[in-house]
Amino acid sequence: GQNIDQPTEMTATEGAIVQINCTYQTSGFNGLFWYQQHAGEAPTFLSYNVLDGLEEKGRFSSFLSRSKGYSYLLLKELQMKDSASYLCAEGSGAGSYQLTFGKGTKLSVIP
Amino acid sequence: GAVVSQHPSRVICKSGTSVKIECRSLDFQATTMFWYRQFPKQSLMLMATSNEGSKATYEQGVEKDKFLINHASLTLSTLTVTSAHPEDSSFYICSARWAGENEKLFFGSGTQLSVL
């Protein structure tokens, strides 16, 4: 099965930039997802990468290197509301889109 | 974007009782829905894949007789936790894939189950 690794916790300052890394080891790769999850709530979709390179969406960007089994989520101009867990997830199973999630990175944004 | 509604949001029940959780796709048809479970500080773990009109596919280690899944229509899937015990206390989340945005899963708001 998949083995998805990401840091457990990170702390960053309001207004700064933070990069959350994710590595995965798998076959049957079908896309790399990033979700944001606030405590007690369901995850919300942030990004999806299936090809190598950087995808930018406003303050959030996501990068993928398939050959290295590596992705990162980049958050710019951090705001206090960005404090949440960020889940790296790998898609597999063509047609059914099953996701395997990492344990999540708890990001704390401090003033 | 698509909306997935999950109900109830919170359940507290006695050990031995059964609890039903509903997951509805409000503005799209979902032939496939997924049920996840999340323990505190743990990742979301896929429990089963719910297919409309057929039996659910359960992940290894998930008891199909304990976690009954019914997907009777294209907009509704239910998860029933039968004879719940304290170790079943967890956050249960459903999700559905919308063909209109093929790469996304849309999640329900989750159900926090506490078994006393």
pLDDT of residue B35 exceeding 70, the answer is: yes
Pairing of strands A84-92, A9-13: unpaired
pLDDT digits (tens, 9 = 90+) for A24-57: 976 667 789 999 999 878 888 899 898 999 999 8
CA distance A88 to A94: 19
Mutation site for B-interface testing, chosen from A41, A44, A55, A90 by largest number of B Cβ within 10 Å: A41
In Å, how far is A100's CA from the nearest CA of chain B? 7
CB A63 within 8 A of CB A7: no
CA distance A109 to A90: 26
Task: Quote the pLDDT of residue A23.
Answer: 95
CA distance B21 to B10: 10
Query: Any idea what the Cα angle at residue B42 is, between residues A96 and B110, rounded to 5°?
Result: 60
pLDDT digits (tens, 9 = 90+) for A56-102: 989 999 999 999 999 999 999 999 999 999 999 988 765 546 788 89
pLDDT digits (tens, 9 = 90+) for B51-108: 888 889 999 999 999 999 998 888 999 999 999 999 999 999 999 877 666 556 788 9
- Cβ under 8 Å to A: B residues 24-63: 32, 34, 36, 41-46, 49
CA distance B77 to B23: 5
* Contact residues on chain B for A100, CB-CB shorter than 8 A: 46
**Chain B contact present for A99, CB below 8 A:** yes
Percentage, residues of chain A above pLDDT 90:
62
